[in-house]
A and B are shown apart, each in its own frame.
Chain A
Amino acid sequence: MSRTVVVIGSSIGGVRTAQALRSEGFDGRVVLVGEESAMPYDKPPLSKQVLAGQWTPDRTELLSAEAAQRERIELRLGVAATRLDIAAKQVHLADGTRIDYDNAVIATGASARPSPWRPGSGVHVVRSLDDSLALRADLLRDGPVVVVGGGFIGAEAAATARGLGHEVTVVDPMPTPIGRVVGPEIGQYFTELHHRHGVTTRFGTGVEGIEGTAGDLRVRLTDGTELAAATVVVGIGAVPNDEWLADSGLPIENGVMCDEFCRALDAHDVFAIGDVARWYHPGHREYVRVEHWTNAVEQGVCAAHNIARPDDLRSYRPVEYVWSDQYDWKVQIVGRPTRGTRHEVVGGLTGVKPRAAVLYTDEDGHLLGVVTVNWPKALVQCRRLVTDHASFDEALERVTTLDASSPPRPPRPAVPAAPEALPAAPAAGGDHG
């Protein structure tokens, strides 16, 4: 008898899971449920090319109607899933219909953490296509922009706004916001990157309140000063979209708790992948939740394999990988740099379009993670070395040899400068929520 897999969530993780089910030879029914009525689209360009106006939204399409038909993926778009009944094995939809499943894949992702400051208008988050277009509409007006949050999404939004010609200030309570990912010492170079491109930073300072309306906002800071802004962007993290599962009986702890095979604990016919999943990583020996684009894709493939081939269960033990294109830096991060106790830099991190790899190690001498800037070739090598549990000394020698054998050349910009963009500040982007 033919089986039915219902995939809930139509962003990158959900779409790639549905496609991978076919690649893995699953021949039953595949239904893809999505809350938004737009055809599935990809999110990384929303803080760069789409926000900058270089791309029209249709270029972000992940799955066309024709491709869905070809791969026999039934689309149920524009209707949210409201409940998962794991006893009856049914997904309830907002329009009152119910879909029977043999396997469900939860891929509902995460939402931007809402702004705690709610003036009349003019405060934006960047997560969905609608968010990006609404922010773009406000950025078409003149006036200064304040970005609250100096993490990746904040840095990307700041770089794009700067590229559109705005005066930009980034505010964050942490002294080195990117330090959360790369450590405070290397984080300093990211702060200097903002400054080199004419963006002001107010790090180590929090936001007390925001008043006014779009075009005339006042951002009050914890040090008593006030910033005038036409537009405010708030990028203070993301929260998993698991509230619709509250009465499902599935264990939820800041994400859907899963085993190493991507199956929900206590409900092995239900899988969860991407930003909404917290699974047991057998390599790290702990439960982790990862909000990276690549993780959503790889975890979707693993779940699809385990659904199509239950006789050949594969455990999911990825090496973390994330990228971010900020100004003239292509940043690529592999592994867990912040677990390291010391690091070494190969190449340099200053000047225009530098090239570098920063390798991180612990007391045991293992390579734990690597941050590369403008150096994809080193990234590839380091990703393998982290995967193979290489020693720090071996990795350092290999990357140093690579540095000597291929002299640095300026890489192509991640995004071609728009006609209206300042030459010094091309748009930024990345795969962070």
Chain B
Amino acid sequence: MPVLKADFAACQGYANCVDAAPTVYDIDDDGIVVLLRETITDEERPRIEEAARSCPVSALTIEDE
């Protein structure tokens, strides 16, 4: 099952991920990304992949585990 990963130190709060995939990404009061889920389904992967690639500092990845 695909697993969501985030580089919290790299995150700059640009928030494109939250806009593109609000069901899996959010942002906290300090402007740092919050992962709302640990895993996603293969079916929703393309949409989440595109959201992850909209991060200007490449802080988001999806891994197979």
CB-defined contacts of A321 to chain B, threshold 8 Å:
16, 19
Q: Contact mask B43-58 → A, CB, 8 Å, 1/0? A: 0001101100110100
B12 touches A380 (CB 8 A): no
Task: Tell me, yes or no, whether A166 is within 8 Å of chain B by CB.
Answer: no
Residue A377 lies at the interface, judged by CB distance under 8 Å to chain B: yes
| Residues in A neighbouring B53, C-beta threshold 8 A | 16, 19-20, 297
* Shortest beta-carbon distance from B43 to chain A in Å: 12
Q: Which of B12, B16, B26, B47 contacts A294 (CB 8 A)?
A: B16
Output the least CB separation between B35 and chain A (Å).
15
Does residue B27 face the partner (Cβ distance < 8 Å to A)? yes
* A379 at the B interface (CB under 8 A): yes
Does B4 interact with chain A (Cβ within 8 Å)? no
Given the contacts A301-B50, A409-B30, A411-B30, A380 and B56 also touching, CB distance less than 8 Å: no
Is the pair A383, B28 in contact by a Cβ cutoff of 8 Å? Answer: no
A340-392 with Cβ < 8 A to chain B: 375-377, 379-380, 383-384
Known contacts A23-B50, A293-B56: A411-B14 contact under CB 8 Å: no
A323 within 8 A of B: yes
**Given contact pairs A294-B54, A411-B31, A376 touches B15 in the complex (Cβ within 8 A):** yes
Chain A, 287-313, contact with B by CB distance < 8 Å: what is the 0/1 string? 000000110011001000000000000
Whether the pair B31, A377 counts as a contact (CB closer than 8 A) is yes
Interface Cβ pair total, 8 Å cutoff? 62
Interface membership of A24, Cβ < 8 A = yes
Is B18 in the interface zone, CB < 8 Å from A? yes
Q: What 7 A-B pairs come out closest when comparing CB atoms? A: A376-B13, A376-B31, A23-B46, A406-B29, A380-B15, A23-B49, A297-B54
Chain A residues proximal to chain B, CB less than 8 Å: 16, 19-20, 23-25, 42, 44, 293-294, 297-298, 301, 321, 323, 325, 330, 332, 375-377, 379-380, 383-384, 406, 409, 411-412, 414, 431
29 contacts across the A-B interface (CB closer than 8 A):
A16-B53, A20-B50, A20-B53, A23-B46, A23-B49, A23-B50, A25-B46, A42-B56, A293-B56, A294-B54, A294-B56, A297-B53, A297-B54, A321-B16, A323-B14, A330-B12, A330-B13, A375-B31, A376-B31, A377-B28, A379-B13, A380-B15, A380-B27, A409-B29, A409-B30, A411-B13, A412-B30, A414-B12, A431-B56
